[in-house]
Amino acid sequence: MSIKRASIAIFWMMLAGTLLFAQEQRQFHPTFPLLDGDGQNVLYSGKPVSTMTTCQTCHDTRFIEKHSQHSWLGMQDLAAMDSSAIRGPYGRWNPVDFRYFDRDKLDLSLTEWRTVFGSKHAGGGAAAREPFDKAALQTVEMNCFLCHLPNPDNQARLKALRSDAPAWANTATLAQTGIVENKGGWQWQRAAFDGEGNLKQAYSQMSTPSDANCALCHDHVHRNPLEPFTLGQPTGVNVSKTGEVFSSQRIFDSGLNIAGKDTLARAWDVHAERLVACVDCHFSTNHPNYYAESDATRPDHLKFDPRRMSLRNYLEKPSHQLAAGPHENSSGAVVSCQSCHQADQSHDWLPYKDRHFAVMSCESCHIPRQLTPAIREVDWTLITPAGGPRVDYRGIDGAPGDPTKLITGFRPVLLPRMDEDGLSRLRPYNLITGWFWVMGPDEKPVPLAVLKAAFLNGNGYRRDVMERLDQDKDGRLEDGERARADQETIRFLQDLLAGQGVENPRLKGEVHPYAINHGVSNYRWVISECTTCHSDNSILYQPVNLSGKGPGASAPAFADNIAPVVEGAILSGQGGGFNFKPAPRAHGLFVLGHDTLSWLNIAGIALFLMTLLGIALHGGLRVIASRKHGHQEQPVKKVYMYHTYERFWHWLQALAIMLLIFTGIIIHAPQHYGWLDYAFTVHMHNILGFILLANAFFSAFYHFAGGEIRQYLPEPRGFFSQAISQTLYYLQGIFKDAPHPFEKEPGKKLNPLQRVIYLIILNILLPVQIVTGVLIWGAQTWPQISNALGGLTVLVPIHSFAAWLFAAFLIMHIYLTTTGHTPMANIKAMITGWDELPATEDHKESKA
Amino acid sequence: MRKTNAYWLVLLGLVFAAIILPLFIFLPSQREHADPWTFLPERPPHTDHSSLMKGPFPDGPSVTEACLACHQEAAHQVMQTSHWTWESQPVTLPGHDEPVRLGKKNAINNFCIGIRSNWPPCTACHAGYGWEDAQFDFKQEKNVDCLVCHDNSGTYSKGNAGFPKEDVDLVSAAQSVGGPTRANCGTCHFRGGGGNAVKHGDLDESLYFPSERIDVHMGKYKFLCTDCHQSQDHNMKGKAISVSFDDENQVACTDCHAPNLHKDDRINSHVASVACQSCHIPSSAKQHATKTHWDWSAAGEDIPEDPHVYLKKKGRFEYQKDLLPEYSWYNGLADHYILGDPINPDTITVITSPRGDISDPDAKIWPFKVHRARQIYDAENNYLIQPKTVGKGGYWTDFDWDKAARLGSEAVGLEYSGHYGFTDTEMFWPITHMVSGKEEALQCVDCHGESPRARMNWEQLGYPGDPIYYGGRQLDRTGKLSNAGGGRHVN
């Protein structure tokens, strides 16, 4: 046995060894020659490598370049350029990057573009495109190495881009590979090539981009989980715009100085922690693994079209339009959380699950808080001597690169945005306010070059600027001094700009929302406490600070053509700052537990309180009167007044209504009932509502079938005089211990006032309450019906007003039960069914 | 009238039922697991023995006799347990005609190798008095050492052959008795291998007062050893494969915790193939470095000594702190090298190894500390030698391997050819203590993908590759492996 086992073991060990060995040796990408722009082998020409020519041997680089937003960055829309309508870095101006590219007026020369934006761009960008004069400039080709090489040298690339020989930038990307070396000039290393001039196997390894490749430009991606994540100097563009971090590292293992860090055991992003790589969501849109036909074109009888593009074809023409969120790019392929997740399978604990999914994005709860700082305000009023803006951050008190400053983080603001399915959902955003000079009738931002000419001389601020603003005369302008908001200073700067020929320069404040999609957490760390939104301090209504000490006397406004719908108001804050106060209710969102104090609600409370007061007065007077007159004991007789079912129906209704009012108050104002679980209470309220409905249904059947309904119908003859005599009894007779004007008997249990009130309660109030309740509950299942009746913003106030009427009726009703021949007589009768009635002559027989 | 009264009560009951029943049925239920605290033993206050144990006690056995006056069964019970016998019930092993009993009494390891002929210092940790040689009488009740487990004064300590050290005040120790504390267990179990943290990796003196990060049960929740290692008639639960073959009377996480308690189904799907320990003990030896390698062949040199690097008596060592475990399939059973088993001196001899592989439905991937050593073997007979190290003629006295091998072999009854050499050995020590809080449990990237944190060797475990891409093992209803990660299920 042992020999057999040993031999099997040895076989497996050998096999494993072979596999391991093979794995180290197995390299998929074939060898290839590096070609220059003329198609010559660089080894012989000594020229920079041309990726477009080299890779063209197997891959259709023209196709790739044409289908790649990394190459175009929105340039395809340039022909129809309207500076506000175009997405992406070219057309769409934003106050953080500030520089813009305009066909008529170049704020940025092409060379400048290359050095400013080229660092974040895998290709030549504008410099490689029509209508710009390509020949006049040294262009930079699309850089395949940057994304597909396991160890690209981005620093060498950036250095080359900023040099006067940017054509070597793609070659420089190979600096760490040993293929090329920079010895006062880039030299191709013969040792890396075989005899035929091809790269040797070990040097020719290109692969799918890893997160490390993406991290070279998208610096919210943290490449190495073993290295503590820190905010470099300067902070990356993405990190500072949104505070997003994509890393598998646990936050408490990061190198950031975050408040309460030691409890933050979650990873920066749960997807990164679970090995979802960048390209798993941002995949090539014709990749045969990911390609999925849209529901619109896929025939109904198919759930999956198995015909796939062959890997060969894919490798030849891989689309480099990567999937992304709907508003983040123009590639057309949309990924969202729902592309992979079936949220309805995992949220059973959540009341009104479908309603939440219809109005909230996943990110709203699953990206609860940003734990890195993000820009709050960018102020270009008076640029720094280096030509930059004054930048303020949220989530930290100070500069993000300063490790002595404590990061407190911030809660993203939730704004509604239209999704692909036509529903508008709340999503998290960071709001960045930009202050900048605009000119002319079309409010074009004043180019940076003009700002520099107006405010700076060769080596700092102009003398008159310094004299005017340097209050402490230390020869420098601190942030506080540059952020002067007084009108005189503004006018002074305006004059300086006008001196540069700027037409009608004026300051503008614009708020730009930046969507937050990364940095997702899972169940343990998300917003799952209902009262976070459903209470009087709902985060949906929390004001967010836009500007601490902005220069503008007038408030900033949201930029045009932004993705989210802005509902809310920009209000002046303390010390000249501005806050944005969201108002989701204006967008048709009714937040239970927060949106409560409508006039209808106040009227309901008033009515309830008046009833309470009336009872107290009446009751007090009755007590005084009974002391004065005494109470005459009367002979009584027992009458079987209430049938079993009648009593069952009554008490079930009583208990259900009381519990509904109780749970309703908690849903209404949960902040006072922290000890009760909100979700549990909502579930309970719904179930109680259906119990009430079922009870009402059965009793209606009982009353109609048995003819009991007649008891509730006011007698047509003499109703008014009867009602008046009953009213008079309550107002006068009751204090004199007078007999009830109408005698109660099994066939005629209700007095005229009761009849009319119960008729109203059971036929108007109860149905209104049940119908509005069912519609509020059904807003998730049949939103169109609820919306047709005004939506939650109408239904909920009616429901709560009616609830107050119920409460008022309830106390009135309970009070009036004490008006029997003894205070407890009526209640006892409703419990046992046997009523004790005054024994008049007529009833002597039944007494006997 | 009375009848009517009862009747309305029924009615009221019906009303409540009409409310409560729908609530009960329709309120969303949450996945509830039994509260793990309910599985913990009670800790009744111990009787104060200060008036009962008056003394004087001239020696250890006299204390035991005093104990037995009331606890008449105690010694008899202890004598059935491995704390006393230092060996197992007989087990039939392949390659052996006779059933084998294994235990500290006769096992060989790759630390100090074996106790036979080296008794006095080794048996300082025997729960008895006077085991000095092979003639020790295992039937003497008064030789059971009650105090080593029950002394609560913290002053009791044992010397050679398990006798109390000279300076121990036996009266105050006897008066202090109570349930076993961490100190009682730790005095032997934290110092296995002759010093703090040497042997196990997951048991060392940091566990006397551990932080939450070292051990969540003992640090955060103030557990005692005996909260998990519960006992019945002095028989403690728990054992280790270094001295036993099976997992009978073993302690398991699932004694208290539900196995599928994770909120995440993806994590729960691991529990059929991955032991709790694999994720929840990211590393052992968290505070004190543990020995990972021991080269006996380097012993005997007169060079500078450092107990963590080199000792003339013992050779060269490697120690490691925050030791990453090695992972292997383990079904609770183990193979153990038995003295006299043939070896191939040119390959590594595995002294203890866990049983199980990817096709074994009972096996799970477990974390192990692997202790590697170079130790003496008989170069002609090709088996490991248990040398005499202690005392007259021992290696630590004379530094003569030949003599040590001859004397040791005599003691264990094995023939010694006169030629010895040194060969590589390995021992697997399951890691099961030093459980981290959930905050520090492993994450996906610690085992899967191409992350620099990935710590699994999937091919070695029998998978074609990382199961996150190739799929996990699938066992059919008979427990037969139907797919060792060869592909994923297709709808």
Q: A603 and A568, same structural domain?
A: no
Q: What is the pLDDT of residue B19?
A: 86
Strand partners of residue B369: B429
> What band does A608 get if pLDDT is binned at 50, 70 and 90?
very high
- The residue behind tokens 């991955």 is B274
Contact A225 B28 (CB under 8 A): no
Query: Which residues lie closer than 8 Å to A470 by C-beta, 6 or more apart?
Result: A476, A477, A481
For chain A, what percent of residues have pLDDT higher than 90? 29
Q: Which of A15-29, A286-300, A763-777 has the lowest mean pLDDT?
A: A15-29
Q: How far apart, in Å, are the Cα atoms of A402 and each of B8, B290, B415? A: 75, 39, 72
pLDDT digits (tens, 9 = 90+) for A125-156: 555 554 444 444 446 788 999 999 999 999 99
- Find, in chain B, the residue whose alpha carbon is nearest to that of A659: B19
- To the nearest whole Å, the CA of A236 is away from the closest chain B CA by 23
Q: Phi and psi at residue A571, in whole multiples of 5°? A: -120, 150
Query: What is the count of structural domains for chain A?
Result: 3
Angle between helices A644-668 and A792-816 (to 10 degrees): 130
Q: How far apart, in Å, are the Cα atoms of A452 and each of A107, A380, A534, B452? A: 12, 11, 50, 47
Distance CA B330, CA B352 (A): 12
State the sign of the Cα–Cα–Cα–Cα dihedral A320, A323, A326, A328: negative
Q: A617 and A474, same structural domain?
A: no
Best interface-test mutation with A: which of B211, B444, B455 has the largest number of A CBs within 10 A? B444
Distance CA A319, CA A329 (A): 15
Q: What is the pLDDT of residue A139?
A: 61
Nearest to A451 by CA among A503, A508, A500: A500
Query: What is the count of structural domains for chain B?
Result: 1
Q: A603 and A560, same structural domain?
A: no
- To the nearest whole Å, the CA of B18 is away from the closest chain A CA by 7
Q: Quote ipTM for the complex.
A: 0.82
**SS in 3 state form for A677-713?**
CHHHHHHHHHHHHHHHHHHHHHHHHHHHHCCHHHHHC
B4-22: average pLDDT:
80
A255-259: average pLDDT:
92
Q: What is the pLDDT of residue A120?
A: 75
Q: A475 and A618, same structural domain?
A: no
Q: A463 and A383, same structural domain?
A: yes
Chain B contact for A141 (CB, 8 A cutoff): no
- To the nearest whole Å, the CA of B30 is away from the closest chain A CA by 8
pLDDT digits (tens, 9 = 90+) for A39-48: 999 999 999 9
Strand partners of residue B318: B293
Chain B contact for A680 (CB, 8 A cutoff): yes
pLDDT at A20 over 50: no
782-811 of A, contacting B, C-beta below 8 A: none
| A569 found inside a domain | yes
Q: Please provide the average confidence, as pLDDT, over all residues in chain B.
A: 91
Q: Which CATH number does the domain housing residue A708 bear?
A: 1.20.950.20
pLDDT at A460 over 80: yes
Contact B444 A831 (CB under 8 A): no
- Find, in chain B, the residue whose alpha carbon is nearest to that of A16: B459
| B385 found inside a domain | yes
Query: Which residues lie closer than 8 Å to A559 by C-beta, 6 or more apart?
Result: A510, A511, A512
Kind and range of the H or E run holding B134: none
Chain B CB contacts of A690 under 8 Å are 22
Closest partner residue to B444 (CB to CB) among A274, A652, A831 is A274
Contact B4 A832 (CB under 8 A): yes
A771 burial via Cβ count (<10 Å: 0-12, 13-18, 19+): middle
Distance CA A38, CA A42 (A): 10
A565-572: average pLDDT:
88
Chain B contact for A262 (CB, 8 A cutoff): no
- Find, in chain B, the residue whose alpha carbon is nearest to that of A304: B491
Angle, vertex CA A254, rays to CA A250 and CA A256, nearest 5: 135
A714-731: average pLDDT:
75
Instruction: Give the residue, B131 or A384, on which the prediction is more confident.
Output: B131
Contact A652 B12 (CB under 8 A): no
| A308 found inside a domain | no
Question: Using beta carbons and an 8 Å cutoff, which residues of B are at the interface with A?
Answer: 4-5, 7-8, 11-12, 14-16, 18-19, 22-23, 26-28, 30, 94-95, 263-264, 266, 438-440, 443-445, 448-453, 459-460, 468
> What band does B221 get if pLDDT is binned at 50, 70 and 90?
very high
| B350 found inside a domain | yes
- Token digits of residue A52: 């477009």
Chain B contact for A273 (CB, 8 A cutoff): yes
Chain A CB contacts of B459 under 8 Å are 16, 19-20
Distance CA A354, CA A340 (A): 18
Q: A616 and A544, same structural domain?
A: no
pLDDT at B68 over 80: yes
Q: Please provide the average confidence, as pLDDT, over all residues in chain A.
A: 81
Closest partner residue to B263 (CB to CB) among A274, A523, A659 is A523
Residue A659 burial (CB count, 10 A): 18
Residues B354 and B330: beta-carbon distance below 8 Å: yes
pLDDT digits (tens, 9 = 90+) for A276-315: 999 999 999 899 988 888 778 888 898 888 888 999 999 9
pLDDT digits (tens, 9 = 90+) for A481-506: 776 667 888 889 999 999 999 899 99
- The residue behind tokens 């500030």 is A98
Q: What is the pLDDT of residue B487?
A: 53
Question: In whole angstroms, how large is the CA radius of gyration of chain A?
Answer: 38
| B409 found inside a domain | yes
| A87 found inside a domain | no
Q: A406 and A551, same structural domain?
A: yes
Q: Which of A311-315, A408-412, A844-848, B294-298 has the lowest mean pLDDT?
A: A844-848
Distance CA B217, CA B202 (A): 13
Distance CA A829, CA B1 (A): 13
CB pairs < 8 Å spanning A and B: 93
pLDDT at A708 over 60: yes
Whether omega for the bond prior to residue A326 falls within 30 degrees of 0, making it cis, is: no
> What band does A328 get if pLDDT is binned at 50, 70 and 90?
low
Q: What is the pLDDT of residue A597?
A: 65
| Beta pairing, strands A557-558 & A544-547 | unpaired
Q: Which of A322-331, B109-118, B404-413 has the lowest mean pLDDT?
A: A322-331
Nearest to B408 by CA among B96, B187, B115: B115
Kind and range of the H or E run holding B467: helix B467-470
B35-52: average pLDDT:
88
Closest partner residue to B23 (CB to CB) among A20, A648, A684 is A684
- Find, in chain B, the residue whose alpha carbon is nearest to that of A638: B1
Question: In whole angstroms, how large is the CA radius of gyration of chain B?
Answer: 27
Closest partner residue to A349 (CB to CB) among B19, B30, B445 is B30
- To the nearest whole Å, the CA of A32 is away from the closest chain B CA by 26
| B300 found inside a domain | yes
Q: A619 and A567, same structural domain?
A: no
Instruction: Give the residue, A364 or B452, on which the prediction is more confident.
Output: A364
Q: Which of A331-335, A562-566, A761-765, B45-49 has the lowest mean pLDDT?
A: A331-335
Q: What is the pLDDT of residue B44?
A: 84
Best interface-test mutation with B: which of A5, A253, A274, A275 has the largest number of B CBs within 10 A? A275
pLDDT at A72 over 80: no
Closest partner residue to A656 (CB to CB) among B11, B19, B452 is B19
A50-56: average pLDDT:
92
Q: What is the pLDDT of residue A844?
A: 40
Q: How far apart, in Å, are the Cα atoms of A848 and each of A71, A113, B265? A: 104, 109, 74
Q: What is the pLDDT of residue B208?
A: 96
Give the amino acid at A532.
T
pLDDT at A411 over 70: yes
| B333 found inside a domain | yes
| A195 found inside a domain | no
**CB-based burial, A118-137: b 16+ in 10 Å, e otherwise:** bebbbbbbbbbbeebeeeeb
Domain of residue A668 covers 599-820
Query: Which residues lie closer than 8 Å to A412 by C-beta, 6 or more apart?
Result: A367, A369, A370, A428, A429, A430, A516
Q: How far apart, in Å, are the Cα atoms of A722 and each of A257, A272, A727, A738? A: 80, 78, 9, 16
- Token digits of residue A771: 């119908």
For chain B, what percent of residues have pLDDT higher than 90? 74
Closest partner residue to B19 (CB to CB) among A655, A831, A832 is A655
Domain of residue B308 covers 194-235+267-442
For chain A, what percent of residues have pLDDT higher than 70? 84
Chain B CB contacts of A210 under 8 Å are 450
Contact B15 A655 (CB under 8 A): yes
Q: What is the pLDDT of residue A19?
A: 44
Q: How far apart, in Å, are the Cα atoms of A323 and each of A209, A287, A335, A673, B474? A: 14, 11, 6, 45, 34
Q: Where are the alpha helices (DSSP H) in A118-246?
A: 144-148, 154-162, 169-172, 211-215, 237-242
Q: What is the pLDDT of residue A43?
A: 92
| B343 found inside a domain | yes
Q: A509 and A645, same structural domain?
A: no
Q: A672 and A547, same structural domain?
A: no
Q: What is the pLDDT of residue A85?
A: 38
CA count, 13 A, side-chain hemisphere, A810: 21
pLDDT digits (tens, 9 = 90+) for B136-195: 999 999 999 999 999 999 999 999 999 999 999 999 999 999 999 999 999 999 999 889
Contact B8 A832 (CB under 8 A): yes
Q: How far apart, in Å, are the Cα atoms of B130 and each of A517, B60, B138, B177? A: 71, 10, 10, 22
Residues A239 and A230: beta-carbon distance below 8 Å: no
Instruction: Give the residue, A400 or A24, on which the prediction is more confident.
Output: A400
Residues A578 and A547: beta-carbon distance below 8 Å: yes
Q: What is the pLDDT of residue A45?
A: 93
Chain B contact for A693 (CB, 8 A cutoff): no
pLDDT at A584 over 80: yes
| B340 found inside a domain | yes
Chain A CB contacts of B220 under 8 Å are none
- Find, in chain A, the residue whose alpha carbon is nearest to that of B263: A523
Nearest to A36 by CA among A53, A57, A12: A53
Q: What is the pLDDT of residue A11?
A: 46
**SS in 3 state form for A498-550?**
HHCCCCCCEEEEEEEEEECCCCCCCHHHCCCCHHHCCCCCCHHHCCEEEECCC
Chain B contact for A683 (CB, 8 A cutoff): yes
Chain A CB contacts of B350 under 8 Å are none
Q: A579 and A439, same structural domain?
A: yes
A204-222: average pLDDT:
88
| Long-range contact set of residues A261-269: C-beta below 8 Å, sequence gap at least 24 | A264/A371, A265/B438, A265/B439, A265/B440, A266/A521, A266/A522, A266/A524, A266/A525, A267/A521, A267/B443, A268/A222, A268/A229, A268/A371, A268/A519, A269/A245, A269/A518, A269/A519, A269/A520, A269/A521
Chain B contact for A623 (CB, 8 A cutoff): no
| B305 found inside a domain | yes
